[in-house]
Amino acid sequence: MSTSFWKSGHTPTLISAFLYFDISFMVWYLLGPLAVQIATDLALSAQQRGIMVATPILSGALLRLLLGFLADRLSPKLAGVIGQLVVILSLSIAWLLGIDSYEQTLLLGLGLGFAGASFAVALPLASQWYPPEHQGTALGIAGAGNSGTVLGALFAPGLAYLFGWQNVFGLALIPLSITLLVFLLLARNAPSRPAPAALIDYARALRDVDSAWFMFFYSITFGGFIGLASALPGYFSDEYDLDPVRAGYYTAACVMVGSLMRPVGGMLADRVGGIRALLMMYAIASGCIAIVGLNLSDAWAALGLFVIAMLGLGMGNGAVFQLVPQRFSREMGVMTGLIGMAGGVGGFILAAGLGAIKQHSGDYQLGLWLFAALCILAWVGLFGVRHRWRTAWVPLGTGRARL
């Protein structure tokens, strides 16, 4: 990393944005690793468990638009503080008053959605400090905060075993409060920020057929990543009778690969072209998920295939956002919000759908095959538009080599 990068922006803000994003994603994902223990104590069905872990995903997807709006109208820092305070309040109530019913888990999930919406704050907060030649590096560092899901998968089940899952909510307040303090002290808004996007900008973007394609593609890559991350603790427990802690470790391995491969996917897309990279990633994910759907008897084989599938989905996330600025360079703020929302909605549908199919069919086979089919559908759709994109985008300033 060049010396000019560290001199060009504001390093304390960049570090603060990463920490805020990282701890927020850890908390956003918290109900997933705790799902087995919560479902056992509250006697939840597989469908209820699936909706419980999916609720923060949907809430976070929708709230990205709200926090993005506040970041535009107020400032990214103030929007981040507001979101963090809502999350701290939600966890404090859950810890002090307790969670005694399925409905209360859903209410907590709605509050945790503000943590998932941190994407709409951390990225603009960091990127607005850096010139165009360093945007990729700055966004890569800030965006690496999605690795917070790994922390949740690694530590939440073990802490629940030692102290009870209700007390995990209280323990999560410690890193949240420290991060909020760091954020308040170190983060600064950039001296010059772009003009706020108007509602008409979102409507105009939605009318463009390419925005619909990007929303669909990201609903499969990021939706698949976060949806599987939330469902896998329950899957490994149900299918292979693993205890919650071991199921959490299996899930952490999958989530870690998916998180770390996002920037690698972007770099690969730069080298071979975003379309070609994304086609490869959909093929890898669909094949692995389809094989797991055969109900493998060996947990290690299933783990290996899920790791490879998450590698494909994680790299696919990076490849999607290598393509977006080539088509929507002037509308990146609006498109980031819309595409990010679509990714969250896809994750909600996958996590809730797997739970519902498990409840009504007795296993996950149909759900996994349906998701594999959606990956194939995305592959077919991308293959179908590739020629138009490679020709129509050239007048927009996009070279063929990067597509």
- For residues 155 and 245, what is the distance between their CA atoms, to the nearest angstrom? 9
Task: Return the pLDDT at 135.
Answer: 59
- For residues 351 and 354, what is the distance between their CA atoms, to the nearest angstrom? 5
Other Cβ atoms within 10 Å of 178 Cβ, number: 12
Is residue 403's pLDDT more than 80?
Answer: no
Condensed to tens digits (0 to 9), the pLDDT of residues 238-294 reads 999 999 899 989 999 999 898 888 778 877 887 788 888 899 999 999 999 999 999
3-state class (DSSP) for residue 202: helix
Angle, in degrees to the nearest 10, between helices 46-73 and 35-42: 120
More confident residue, 143 or 229: 229
Measuring CA to CA, how many Å separate 201 from each of 70, 333, 335?
16, 10, 10
Is residue 185's pLDDT more than 70?
Answer: yes
CATH number belonging to domain 202-403: 1.20.1250.20
Measuring CA to CA, how many Å separate 101 from each of 42, 107, 111, 254?
6, 10, 16, 30
Q: Domain residues of the chain, as ranges?
A: 9-185, 202-403
Look up tokens 């493998």; give the residue. 296
In sequence order, what are the residues at sequence separation of 6 or more whose Cβ sits closer than 8 angstroms to the Cβ of residue 336?
68, 120, 123, 324
- Region 143-169 average pLDDT: 88
Cα 275–Cα 277–Cα 280 angle in degrees, nearest 5: 110
Q: What is the DSSP string of 205-227?
A: HHTSHHHHHHHHHHHHHHHHHHH
Task: Return the pLDDT at 56.
Answer: 93
Mean pLDDT (the chain) is: 86
Task: Return the pLDDT at 251.
Answer: 92
- For residues 75 and 121, what is the distance between their CA atoms, to the nearest angstrom? 9
Alpha helices in 9-118 (DSSP H): 11-28, 35-42, 46-73, 76-97, 102-116
Is residue 401's pLDDT more than 50?
Answer: no
- Region 41-48 average pLDDT: 92
First to last CA, the chain: 25
What pLDDT band is residue 148 in, cutting at 50, 70 and 90? Answer: confident
More confident residue, 289 or 146: 289
* Same fold flag, 9-185 and 202-403: yes
Is residue 41's pLDDT more than 90?
Answer: yes
CB 316 within 8 A of CB 196: no
Measuring CA to CA, how many Å separate 237 from each of 54, 248, 289, 297, 370?
17, 9, 18, 13, 21
Angle, in degrees to the nearest 10, between helices 11-28 and 119-127: 170
- For 384-402, letters b (16+ CB in 10 Å) and e give eebeebbeebeeeebeeeb
Which class for 325: exposed (0-12), middle (13-18), buried (19 or more C-beta within 10 A)? Answer: middle
- For residues 379 and 386, what is the distance between their CA atoms, to the nearest angstrom? 10
In sequence order, what are the residues at sequence separation of 6 or more whose Cβ sits closer than 8 angstroms to the Cβ of residue 180?
81, 84, 85, 88
- For 9, the token pair is 């922006």
Task: Return the pLDDT at 398.
Answer: 44
Is residue 22's pLDDT more than 50?
Answer: yes
% of the chain exceeding 90 in pLDDT: 49
Compute the Cα dihedral for 270, 6, 335, 19 and give only its sign.
positive
Matching CATH number, 9-185, of 3.40.50.300, 3.30.360.10, 3.60.20.10, 1.20.1250.20: 1.20.1250.20
Helices and strands (H, E) in the chain, number of each type: 17, 0
H helix or E strand, kind and range, residue 1: none
Is residue 60's pLDDT more than 60?
Answer: yes
- For 23, the token pair is 């701890």
102 phi, psi to nearest 5 deg: -60, -40
Is residue 70's pLDDT more than 90?
Answer: no
- For residues 64 and 369, what is the distance between their CA atoms, to the nearest angstrom? 30
